[in-house]
Amino acid sequence: MKKVVVIGPESTGKSTLSEMLARRFHTTWTPEYAREYIAQLDRPYVQEDLLSIAEGQLALEKQYAATANNLLVCDTDLYVIKVWSEHKYGDCDHQILQMIAAQECDLYLLTNIDLPWEEDPQREYPEPEMRQYFYNIYRDIAMQSGVPFVDIHGSYEQREAHAVAAVEQLLQGAPISDL
């Protein structure tokens, strides 16, 4: 089975793209567990919650992988938790770092910030400079991961076309080219 992770800053179309790819390739996609977890809290989240979120994300991946059709699409991975933890709290729990070291991925689809910000109570950084800041961090992660990645940018139609082409290349065993 191949695993594709859609990664990038807030409000860059990760969930929309993940769901579309799952439909297109007749498989399952793993939603971002943090959204569900935070929605159920009756308080602001704290750093200690991030370990529970990481564990929940991995459990969801395992659950959805069981019914995937040779491809699992993930709307985020544990690097997102690391980025938020380091930005908001100055460090990341060593258990989360160990989980990151053990996670596997075959392709990153890095969503660019060229879509307009959409307000959401769980989103925290709408400022263009903060969106660029986080994009740069995710780009560095993708570049340093050793995993092929494609920058997903443009209109929704262009994003879909780039993502589908990259996943098709992955599934065919072809070299992944940045489109």
Residue 51 lies in a domain: yes
Residue 108 lies in a domain: yes
Residue 145 lies in a domain: yes
Q: Residue 117 — very low, low, confident or very high, per pLDDT cuts 50/70/90?
A: confident
**Which class for 54: exposed (0-12), middle (13-18), buried (19 or more C-beta within 10 A)?**
buried
Residue 178 lies in a domain: no
Query: Would you list the DSSP string of 1-12?
Result: -EEEEEE-STTS
Residue 177 lies in a domain: no
Q: How far apart are CA 179 and CA 159, in angstroms?
A: 10
User: What is the tens place of the pLDDT at every residue in 60-93?
Assistant: 999 999 999 999 999 999 999 999 999 999 999 9
- pLDDT over threshold 80, residue 55: yes
CATH number for the domain including 128?
Answer: 3.40.50.300
3-state secondary structure of 109: strand
Q: How far apart are CA 166 and CA 178, in angstroms?
A: 8
Q: Which two three-digit tokens encode residue 39?
A: 């929605």
Supply φ then ψ for residue 174, to 5 degrees. -85, 155
The angle subtended at Cα 93 by Cα 92 and Cα 96, nearest 5°, is 95
The pLDDT of residue 116: 77
Averaged pLDDT score across all residues of the chain: 93
Residue 162 lies in a domain: yes
Range of the domain at 160: 2-172
Question: Bigger pLDDT: 152 or 123?
Answer: 152
Residue 179 lies in a domain: no
Contact 119, 126 (CB under 8 A): yes
Cβ contacts of residue 134 below 8 Å, gap of 6+? 8, 9, 10, 83, 87, 125
Q: How many domains does the chain divide into? A: 1
Q: Which amino acid is at 55?
A: E
Residue 13 lies in a domain: yes
- pLDDT over threshold 70, residue 125: no
- pLDDT over threshold 80, residue 122: no
